[in-house]
Structure 1
Amino acid sequence: MTTPLVLVINCGSSSIKFALVDEDSSEFPLEGLAERLNSPEAVLRWEQDGEQQEEPLADADHRQALEALLPRVQAYAGDRLAAIGHRVVHGGEQFTAAGLLNEDALAAIRAASPLAPLHNPANLLGIDAAQALFADLPQVAVFDTAFHQSLPEHAYRYALPIELYQQQRIRRYGFHGTSHCYVTRRAASLTGLPVDTSGWLSAHLGNGCSSCAVQDGHSRDTSMGFTPLEGLVMGTRSGDVDPSLHAFLERERGWSAQHTDQVLSRESGLLGLSGLSNDMRTLEQASSEGHEGATLAIEVFCYRLAKSLAGQACALTRLDGLIFTGGIGENSALVRAKTVAHLGLMGLAINDDANRACVGGNSGEIQADNSPRILVVPTNEERQIALETLAAIGAEKER
C-alpha cells in the first residue's frame, strides 16, 4: 500500500518554500523555492528526484507562483496527494495544535496578524492561492506558536498591568515550535526514551535562534516571547535588551520606536556585534584570522545561549539531554563547545572528537564520559508539518 503525500507550503512576503513529504521516506521527492516574487527576477527553482530545474516567473505573485508549482506536484503525486500543510507563524492563544482550515480558522489567523504583521499576511496569501487551486483538497494550518501553548501561566505572563494581557493579549508566545517538537521527539527515539517521560533542553540555532525546555513532550519554557525578537542573540536580531533602550535612544539620538525596532531586528545580533556578518561560518573564519569583532560576536552568542539554557532547566523535573539543531547548531562544533563550556555546573561536557565529527547533517551524541547526553539532531520542520497535517485530517475524520 502506498503512503499518502503531503505538500508543505511556507509562504514569506516575497517567497514560497515548498516540499512534498512522503512519511515513509527520509528524502523529499520534490522540493524547492519560488523567490523574488512580484519582481522581474521572480523565479521558481525545484529539485525532483535529485534533478535541479528552474523556471523564470517574471513579476509573478503568490497565486501565479503556485499556479506554476501545483500542476508539477499533482503530476508527480497523482492520487497520493492527501493534503496541503501550511506553515503559519502565529496562532495566538486560539490554536494549541494544527487545525483544518475553514472560515473560523482563517478568521482567527487574520485576527492574529497584528501579532505577526510580517508573517501571517504572507501565510494567508499562500493559503488563499492554494485553496483556490485545490478547493477539494484538505488543507491544514500548522502554527509555530502552537507547541508553546502548554507553557504554564507563570512562564508566559509578563509582569505588566493585567489589562494589557486581557485586552491586547500581550504575553510570551514562543516560536520555532515545529522544530523544537520534532527534534525532542527524534532525540527520544534515538536514545530509546519515551517522549512522555523525558526532559530535554533544545537549542534551535540559525539566523533566528531560540531555546526551549520540553518536559514529557510538552514545551514548558522558551526564549522567544511576544515576538521573535526576544531571547537569544541571532543573526541580525539583538535578542534581550533593556526595555528602556527605546526611550533612551529617542531622547539621545532622536530615533523613533520604528527605527529602533529596525535596528534591533535587522542591524544587530551577530552582524551588529561583529561589524562584519550575520553568518556564523564567516565569523568563525574571521575570528581564526584575528578579527576581534567576530571573536566577540561568537563569545556573546555562546554565553547568552548557555545562560538561557541554564535558566530554562528550572522548568524541567529531569534532564535527559541537551539538543543542538538548526544550521548553526548542526554544523558549528565551535559554538557547541563554547556553549557547553559555560554549563559545567550542570555536569555537561563535550567529547571533542565526537563534536568535530558531527557536522553536515549527521546526528549523534557528543558528550564526554559521565556527562548528561548532548545530541546533535538535524531539524526537519517540513516533515513535522506533514505529520501534524495528517494527524489533523485523521482527527477530523474520527469526529
Structure 2
Amino acid sequence: MKVLVLNCGSSSIKYKLYNMDNEAVLAQGGVERIGLDNAFIKVKLTNGEKKQIMADLPTHKEGVSLVFKCLLDPEFGAIKDLKEIDAVGHRIVQGGDKYNKSVIVDKQVEQDIEELCDLAPVHNAGHLKGIRAVDALMPTTPQVCVFDNAFHSTMPDYAYLYAIPYELYEKYHIRRYGFHGTSHRYVSQRVCEILGLDVNNSRIITCHIGNGASVAAVLNGKVIDTSMGLTPLAGLMMGSRCGDIDASAVTYLMDKLGKKPQEMADYLNKQSGVLGITGISSDMRDVENAAQEGNKRAKLALEMYDYRIKKYIGAYAAALGGVDAIVFTAGVGENQTGTREQACAGLEFLGIKIDKAKNATIHGEEAIISTPDSKVKVVVVPTDEEIVIARDTKELVEKAK
C-alpha cells in the first residue's frame, strides 16, 4: 500500500509518500507561499539533493496538484499513475473534544473540522483546504484525519479543565487540549523500544522542543497532562510564543497598547517568546550564536527558555509519581545540546544525571545521553510524525475494505 501524508498550513503543504509494505519513504518535499508571490515547491531527491520549482499557486488545489505533478515526474518522480496512491493521510491540529482517534474523512468530518476553526483558525483552515483539494483531484481516494490533540484525550478532567465557570466548558468547550500529539505518541513508544521498557508499565516525560514546544506526562502509554492548552500558546516559552502568562497581564497590555483581542493574540503568538526577549530572532541557533558573542538579552532568553523546560519536567515527575525516562525531540530537542543539558541541570535529586560529554556529540540521532548510573534515562529520539499518520491511515483504510 502507498500512502501520501499531507500537512497543510495556511500557505504551505509538506508531503511524504510511503510504501507501507516496508515503510520506505518514496518521495518528500514541501510547497511554500501558496496564495502569495514567488510560490514554489522544494523536492528532496533520492540522492539527498533538493530541487526547487517556482509556480503560480493561488490556492491549495494548485499546490496539491503541483505535488502530484512532481510525484509523477518522469525524471525525479516516484509513481507513474495517481491510482498508485491508495490513501491520503492528513495532520489536523485541532479535533476539539469531538475526536479522540484518527478517522476516515467524510462530509461530517469536514464539517466538524470547519466548525473547530475558531479554536485553531490558521491551522484547521489550511488542513481543510488540503482535504478539499484532494477531494477535487482524487475524488475516489480514501482520506484519513489524524488529530494533533487526540493522543492527549486521555487526560483526566481535573488536568484538562480550567478553573472558570463550568458552564463555559459545557457551552464553548474551553479546556486544555494539548498539541504535538503525534510526536509525543511516537517518541513515547519509541523510547520504550530503545530502553526495553514495557509501555504499559512506564512513566515517560516527552519534551517536544522546537519553534513550537510542549511537554507531556505519559503514564503507561497514556497522557495524563501536557503543557499546551486550548491553543498552542500555553506552556513553554517558544520561538515567538510567550507560553504561560498571567491572564490579567494580557488584559492590562491590551489596555496599555490599545490592542483588540485578535491583535493581542497575534502579538503573543508571533512577536513574543524568544523573539520578543532577544529582539533578534525566533531561531534558537541565532540566539545561541548571539549569546556566545556576549549579547545579554540572548543569554537571558536561553536561561528563561531552559528554566521553563526544567520546571515542567519537575512538575510532571511529581504528576507521574516518578519518572523512568525523559525524551528530547524536535528541532531544538534533537540538536541543541546546551538546552538539553541545562533543562536537566540540578535535577540529580530526581535521579537524573546527564553525560555532558556524550550529550555534546548528539545532533539529530537516537542516543541515550544520561550516565550509566542515572536512575532516570535521558534519551534523544528524532520525531517522525509522518509515519504515525501513515500507519493510522493504512490501518483505517484496510479495516474499511
Q: Which moved more, 1:285-294 or 1:332-341?
A: 285-294
Shift of 1:378: 0.2
Match for residue 53 of structure 2?
Answer: 55
Task: List gaps (5 residues or longer) in structure 1.
Answer: none
Match for residue 320 of structure 1?
Answer: 324
Whether 1:31 aligns to 2:28 is yes
Task: State whether residues 329 and 335 of structure 1, in contact with CA within 8 Å, keep that contact through their aligned partners in structure 2.
Answer: yes
Instruction: Write the mapping of 1:286-305 to structure 2, written as runs, cut at 5 A.
Output: 286-305=290-309
TM-score for the superposition, normalised by structure 2: 0.94
Task: State whether residues 64 and 133 of structure 2, in contact with CA within 8 Å, keep that contact through their aligned partners in structure 1.
Answer: yes
Whether 1:365 aligns to 2:368 is yes
Match for residue 8 of structure 2?
Answer: 11
Shift of 1:253: 3.5
Amino acid at match of 2:128: L
Would the alpha carbon gap of residues 251 and 61 (structure 1) be closer, same or farther in structure 2, given more than 3 Å must change?
Answer: closer
- Partner of 2:218, secondary structure, is strand
Match for residue 255 of structure 1?
Answer: 259
Instruction: Write the mapping of 1:140-219 to structure 2, written as runs, cut at 5 A.
Output: 140-219=144-223
Between the aligned residues of both structures, percent identity stands at: 39
Match for residue 78 of structure 2?
Answer: 76
Shift of 1:247: 2.0
Cα distance in 1 between the residues matched to 2:361 and 2:24: 22
Task: State whether residues 215 and 317 of structure 1, in contact with CA within 8 Å, keep that contact through their aligned partners in structure 2.
Answer: no
- Partner of 1:302, secondary structure, is helix
Match for residue 329 of structure 1?
Answer: 333
Q: Matched residue pairs, number? A: 393
Task: State whether residues 238 and 264 of structure 1, in contact with CA within 8 Å, keep that contact through their aligned partners in structure 2.
Answer: yes
Q: Which moved more, 1:309-318 or 1:100-109?
A: 309-318
Task: State whether residues 246 and 257 of structure 1, in contact with CA within 8 Å, keep that contact through their aligned partners in structure 2.
Answer: no
Summarize deviations over 1:97-122 as a string: whole Å, max 9, x none: 11000112112111211111111111
Cα distance in 2 between the residues matched to 1:393 and 1:189: 26
Summarize deviations over 1:161-214 as a string: whole Å, max 9, x none: 011000000000000000000111111111112222222100001100000011
- Partner of 1:21, secondary structure, is strand
1:45 to 2, 23, 42: 42
Would the alpha carbon gap of residues 27 and 271 (structure 1) be closer, same or farther in structure 2, given more than 3 Å must change?
Answer: farther
Whether 1:87 aligns to 2:91 is yes
Shift of 1:60: 3.4
Task: State whether residues 99 and 141 of structure 1, in contact with CA within 8 Å, keep that contact through their aligned partners in structure 2.
Answer: yes
Cα distance in 2 between the residues matched to 1:22 and 1:180: 24
Amino acid at match of 1:31: Q
Q: Which moved more, 1:226-235 or 1:110-119?
A: 110-119
Summarize deviations over 1:328-351 as a string: whole Å, max 9, x none: 000011000001004233121110
TM-score for the superposition, normalised by structure 1: 0.94
Cα distance in 1 between the residues matched to 2:384 and 2:38: 29
Cα distance in 1 between the residues matched to 2:166 and 2:309: 30
Summarize deviations over 1:256-277 as a string: whole Å, max 9, x none: 3333222211111111111211
Shift of 1:231: 0.4
Cα distance in 2 between the residues matched to 1:70 and 1:259: 37
- Partner of 1:20, secondary structure, is strand
Cα distance in 1 between the residues matched to 2:140 and 2:366: 39
- Partner of 1:382, secondary structure, is helix
Cα distance in 1 between the residues matched to 2:400 and 2:156: 28
Cα distance in 2 between the residues matched to 1:325 and 1:67: 32
Match for residue 113 of structure 1?
Answer: 117
1:350 to 354, 361, 365: 354
Cα distance in 2 between the residues matched to 1:338 and 1:40: 42
- Partner of 2:78, secondary structure, is helix
Task: State whether residues 303 and 342 of structure 1, in contact with CA within 8 Å, keep that contact through their aligned partners in structure 2.
Answer: no
Cα distance in 2 between the residues matched to 1:253 and 1:155: 33
Summarize deviations over 1:141-167 as a string: whole Å, max 9, x none: 011011111111111000010110000
Amino acid at match of 1:47: K
Shift of 1:16: 0.7
Cα distance in 1 between the residues matched to 2:205 and 2:21: 28
Q: CA RMSD in A?
A: 1.7
Match for residue 20 of structure 1?
Answer: 17
- Partner of 2:243, secondary structure, is coil
Task: State whether residues 162 and 175 of structure 2, in contact with CA within 8 Å, keep that contact through their aligned partners in structure 1.
Answer: yes
Cα distance in 1 between the residues matched to 2:224 and 2:315: 12
- Partner of 1:30, secondary structure, is strand
Cα distance in 1 between the residues matched to 2:394 and 2:366: 26
Cα distance in 2 between the residues matched to 1:284 and 1:6: 39
Would the alpha carbon gap of residues 227 and 44 (structure 1) be closer, same or farther in structure 2, given more than 3 Å must change?
Answer: same
Cα distance in 2 between the residues matched to 1:24 and 1:181: 22
Task: State whether residues 20 and 394 of structure 2, in contact with CA within 8 Å, keep that contact through their aligned partners in structure 1.
Answer: no
Task: State whether residues 21 and 382 of structure 1, in contact with CA within 8 Å, keep that contact through their aligned partners in structure 2.
Answer: no
